[in-house]
Chain A
Amino acid sequence: MPSANLPLPPATFFILFALATGDKHGYAIMQDARKLSDNRFQIGPATLYTTVQRLLDSSWIEEVQGPADGDPRRRYYRLTKQGNSALHYEMDRMEALVRKSKALRLRPMESGS
């Protein structure tokens, strides 16, 4: 996974993050992305499926068969090995940034200052 792809755009990151916990269809990815971001990031259908198509093209996710009792109108997606390593590269990058900011004892500025 080339580090040139980092940082991942937020939609890409949250889609990969949502799929890290199992196969999901589009709407489940949208819901998970919202939950994982504590309601701070919302993916709409157009952003979701545009990004899904790009991730399919780069083989970071793949389409899989849904559960037998699932809605046949929905397609399910799975994180591939490449997608998984991209997600972990990104998380490592974020973790390193947090570590650095802690080492520098950076704090948010007080409002009005």
Chain B
Amino acid sequence: MIISLQLSTRLYARLLVLYPEELRRDYGSEMALAFADDLDTARRDAGLRGVIRVWRCALCEFLKFALPGRLSSPAVRVPFIALAFSVFSLSVELVLHYSTQAPLRFAIAAMLPTFGTVLTPLAVIWACRSRGVLSLGLSHAAVGEE
């Protein structure tokens, strides 16, 4: 569990790259620290359920603060929409294919459109960006309203 906590913390620190620059520059290290502390407390208090709660909150914040800023640039928006559409189409096909088979396979396949549509394009864009394939001249003006 300790290893998974370290992985979680590292993953969160990586995700911070996608947050608005101003927020990341001023508070990035403290955000990572607060996340790690929160995760640790949640694990001690509620085990896996607590860890899931902290991650759910972090992902909701990611969608609220990081994604809108990223998608404001056409350099990200266009590939994101294209990839999202492709993954969604493929996923629907898989769901239809497995709909006649075992319930477990169907359940797994049914989750793909939900998670894959958002996460796959993000992962691809993230990977491209870290390799310098995509240069993101993004504006980080909107730190975000509540």
Interface residues of A (CB under 8 A from B): 9-12, 25-27, 30-31, 42, 44-54, 73-75
Contact = CB atoms under 8 A, between A and B. Distances in A.
Interface residues of B, number: 26
A25 B33 CA distance: 11
A73 B29 contact: yes
B57 A51 contact: no
B27 interface: yes
A5 B138 CA distance: 31
Contact of A9 (B35, B62, B64, B146): B146
Contacts of B74: none
A30 B146 contact: no
A26 B30 CA distance: 8
Given A26-B34, A50-B65, A53-B27, 10 more contacts: A26-B27, A27-B34, A44-B35, A45-B32, A45-B38, A46-B62, A47-B65, A47-B146, A73-B29, A74-B33
A46 B30 CA distance: 10
Given A27-B38, A46-B61, A50-B23, A12 B30 contact: no
Q: What 6 pairs between A and B have smallest CB-CB spacing?
A: A45-B31, A49-B27, A46-B61, A9-B146, A44-B61, A27-B34
B58 interface: yes
A44 B64 CA distance: 11
Interface in B92-146: 143-144, 146
Nearest to B65: A46
Contact of B143 (A10, A12, A25, A50): A50
Contacts of B62: 46
B146 A12 contact: yes
A46 B34 CA distance: 10
A45 B34 contact: yes
B46 to A, nearest CB: 10
B34 A53 contact: no
B30 A49 contact: yes
Contacts of B144: 46, 50
Contacts of A50: 23, 65, 143-144, 146
B35 A42 contact: no
A61 to B, nearest CB: 14
B60 interface: yes
A27 B34 CA distance: 5
